Structure 1
């Protein structure tokens, strides 16, 4: 059934994107004709609420085979309080502030949909705290989507460095036993984001990272043209390299909902245990303080606010 959905996605998306791509130049022309009015309005409002970034995503796997690739990517960093329209399907700034207990600006790093298709494996909310008339990055919210299964999980993490139990079946070539080591920089002229998978048996065997640079003249760019086919390119890279892993005889792992329906509850338990652990100096092994019972009996770990929802199908 999932294979049938995937085939429907390819056919329907190809047709829809072709039609909308043919219409796109006319839309761009109409927006350009009305740009003078928009420019005067923007000058009154101050800086643009959307900043454009361009960079590179790197993937590297070290088990059971060595496999790596990279691709160019474009992102939008959206000031949710100042944006005219909140992105559909994402948290509002008030919701983000409520779950992170912050009181400052909320910025969303995401890839907008393009010509009827959305492919956004990871979006990040940067949540700031106001201190003495200044703002500092306090917490982040990760929004992870596994497109083939139409699921999404959101959770809070410490941007300086955090270890979070894997809570979503992102790849059919990885099991659910690993945990994510996440780190995100405060976005400025440059931004970086890195995620590595720590596995109890394989160690640190997978790393993904984003390095991007802010475009200085982004205000003059048409966003629909700038992101044209960006989600499609990401999908091609993901599925092409999944095919390569299958060709290399990497084990295909079925979604845990068919074997362990309680996998989400188990992820919550593993995350609470992780928060009672400390990383050793060489960052290779996890040393736990006391037994599991002692660990969970300690002062309450941070509430990451794990939330699983059904995401929008990319072709719907």
Structure 2
């Protein structure tokens, strides 16, 4: 049943995206003929940003870069592909840009911050969305007295990861320290990885460049997998039409890469693992328990450079929530 749904979903996406691509091409041609600019998505300009730069910063910044994955065990397998991301100021953008994401106020509540919230994500394109990882950068603003005395710009305090697995479409959101953090794996992101690994996560404050690095620390395979995003800012702001053109088929390309690399791993005889919900319905609770141990027991793997963001109610737990998949994966 799931295989039939997947084929049907792919077919529907191809048809819908083809029709919307034709519509986008027509809009682009009409815009050139009429030479009329589209309304800007960015709204007003920011006076400061978390990257510490001077001058106004647009509400939507566009980045272009590459994602690289490297697996060292049980077989060697590495690849990279180009990506395009939007860095969106959630306080200053129109709601349709962030329908499926946290609001700025909710992100600040979760991260216990009081400053800007920037979302790094791949926007939907021609009716399709594919985001293996989106990141919320949550900033703190210095106090009024410190600002009057010449204080610094808002500083990046906490990040929120929003991870989506393919093809199931489940999501998990959790906080992590951008400097370095160790997180017990909370989601079945790949049918070629079990749930026993921990994620070592690092994210630089975005400026002209941005980078995110995730490596997997496994009890038997060691540090056997690394995923790295490096990107550079390519535009300061964009009209709605230019934004749609910039991200045209970007989610589709990411999905194709995911399935193609999965086929290669299968061809290399890497074991295909069933979703843990069919074997252990309590796998999410198990992930929370492992994460609590990482917080409470440094001897089991947490180095002095790793830290954990916990809730105010219980200092043993990291804030972590799941969003279930849609039918028929649910």
Q: TM-score, normalised by structure 2?
A: 0.84
Question: Structure 1 residues 183, 31: CA separation in 2 closer, same or farther (over 3 Å shift)?
Answer: farther
Is 1:286 the equivalent of 2:301? yes
1:62 alignment counterpart: 72
1:244 alignment counterpart: 264
Structure 2, unpaired ranges of 5+: 47-55, 148-152, 304-312
d(CA) in 1 for partners of 2:199, 2:167 = 20
1:137 aligned residue (149, 156, 159)? 156
1:292 alignment counterpart: none
- Equivalent position SS for 1:239: helix
d(CA) in 1 for partners of 2:302, 2:190 = 27
User: How is 1:23-102 mapped onto 2 (pairs within 5 angstroms)?
Assistant: 23-29=23-29, 35-36=36-37, 38=39, 47-85=57-95, 86-102=97-113
Is 1:264 the equivalent of 2:303? no
Question: Structure 1 residues 3, 77: CA separation in 2 closer, same or farther (over 3 Å shift)?
Answer: same
Is 1:210 the equivalent of 2:220? no
1:116 alignment counterpart: 127
2:309 alignment counterpart: none
Q: Is the 8 A contact 1:2 1:149 kept in 2?
A: no
User: How is 1:195-206 mapped onto 2 (pairs within 5 angstroms)?
Assistant: 195-206=214-225
d(CA) in 2 for partners of 1:52, 1:312 = 30
d(CA) in 1 for partners of 2:164, 2:326 = 10
Question: Structure 1 residues 219, 184: CA separation in 2 closer, same or farther (over 3 Å shift)?
Answer: same
Q: Is the 8 A contact 2:292 2:318 kept in 1?
A: no
Question: Structure 1 residues 34, 311: CA separation in 2 closer, same or farther (over 3 Å shift)?
Answer: farther
Q: Is the 8 A contact 2:85 2:121 kept in 1?
A: yes
- Equivalent position SS for 2:254: helix
User: How is 1:223-234 mapped onto 2 (pairs within 5 angstroms)?
Assistant: 223-234=243-254
Indicate the RMSD between aligned Cα atoms, in angstroms.
Answer: 2.6
Q: Is the 8 A contact 1:2 1:148 kept in 2?
A: no
What is the deviation of 1:10?
1.5
What is the CA deviation profile of residues 274-311 of structure 1, one whole-angstrom value per residue up to 9, with x for unaligned ones?
112437xxxxx8279xxxxxxxxxx9546421100125
What is the deviation of 1:15?
1.0
Q: Is the 8 A contact 1:53 1:77 kept in 2?
A: yes
Question: Structure 1 residues 239, 36: CA separation in 2 closer, same or farther (over 3 Å shift)?
Answer: closer
What is the CA deviation profile of residues 22-79 of structure 1, one whole-angstrom value per residue up to 9, with x for unaligned ones?
111223356665854736x957886431000000000000111000000000000000
Structure 1, unpaired ranges of 5+: 280-284, 289-298
Q: Is the 8 A contact 1:272 1:301 kept in 2?
A: no
What is the CA deviation profile of residues 98-153 of structure 1, one whole-angstrom value per residue up to 9, with x for unaligned ones?
11111000000000011111110000000000013330000000000013112100
Q: Is the 8 A contact 1:194 1:209 kept in 2?
A: yes
Q: Is the 8 A contact 1:146 1:168 kept in 2?
A: yes
- Equivalent position SS for 1:148: coil
Question: Structure 1 residues 96, 228: CA separation in 2 closer, same or farther (over 3 Å shift)?
Answer: same
Q: Which has the higher strand share?
A: 1
Report which stretch shifted further, 19-28 or 140-149. 19-28
Question: Structure 1 residues 77, 116: CA separation in 2 closer, same or farther (over 3 Å shift)?
Answer: same
1:294 alignment counterpart: none
Q: TM-score, normalised by structure 1?
A: 0.87
1:193 alignment counterpart: 212
d(CA) in 2 for partners of 1:130, 1:31 = 41
